[in-house]
């Protein structure tokens, strides 16, 4: 039995090569860095940085959605930019995709990204659904035993 399994997607674009779209190891999900490829056209979505940032985050959401998760399960991202002058625009886009508490994040400038992309984002998530069910059922048991009384 493998301790890790490859994440595959029918909806997200996956570059060819010796790399997985992501790996699931137990409850931990490690997504490879997502480039701003439109899954339908298989091309960089646009030359506009904002659109590229949106597309990277949407691509991450597509993969997580196929796993039954959402961006709320992301605990850490790493953002690679070719121009740190786009940092404020990144924050605007990022702020529209996440809510507090925001995932931990690293952001670094690189000299180049594949296919001329201006941004690439990798994400780490934890699938806490099993724990959420346990906590919910414990709360329910406590309430049935009279511990949850409203006055």
Q: What is the pLDDT of residues 87-108, one digit of tens each?
A: 999 999 999 999 999 999 999 9
Q: What is the helix (H) or strand (E) element at residue 131, kind and residue range?
A: helix 129-144
Q: What is the pLDDT of residue 146?
A: 52
How far is 87 from 145, CA to CA, in rounded Å? 52
Closest CA to 60 of 43, 81, 44, 77: 77
**Percent of all residues in the chain with a pLDDT value above 70, rounded to a whole number:** 84
How far is 94 from 81, CA to CA, in rounded Å? 13
Q: What token pair was written down for 92? A: 């605007």
What sign results for the dihedral spanned by CA atoms 135, 64, 109, 99? negative
pTM: 0.84
Beta bridge pairs of residue 29: 24, 125
- Give mean pLDDT, residues 59-86: 96
Query: Which one-letter DSSP state was computed for residue 17?
Result: S
Beta bridge pairs of residue 104: 76
- Say which range, 11-20, 26-35, 77-86, 131-140, has the weakest mean pLDDT: 131-140
Give me the domains of the chain, ranges plus CATH numbers.
4-144 (3.30.1330.40)
Query: Is it the case that residue 141 has pLDDT exceeding 80?
Result: no
Mean pLDDT of the chain: 88
Q: How remote is the C-alpha of 127 from its chain's centroid?
A: 12
3-state secondary structure of 139: helix
């Amino acid at each position: 039995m493998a301790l890790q399994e490859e994440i595959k997607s029918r909806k997200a674009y996956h570059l060819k090569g010796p790399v997985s779209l992501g790996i699931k190891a137990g409850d931990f999900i490690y997504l490879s860095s997502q480039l701003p490829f439109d899954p339908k056209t298989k091309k960089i979505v646009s030359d506009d940085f904002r659109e590229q940032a949106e597309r990277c985050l949407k691509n991450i959401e597509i993969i997580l959605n196929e796993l039954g998760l959402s961006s709320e399960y992301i605990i850490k991202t790493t953002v690679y930019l070719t121009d740190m002058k786009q940092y404020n625009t990144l924050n605007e886009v990022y702020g529209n995709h996440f809510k507090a508490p925001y995932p931990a994040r690293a952001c670094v400038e690189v000299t180049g990204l594949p296919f001329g992309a201006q941004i690439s984002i990798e994400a780490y998530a934890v699938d806490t659904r099993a724990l959420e069910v346990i906590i919910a059922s414990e709360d329910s048991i406590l309430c049935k035993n009279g511990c949850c009384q409203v006055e």
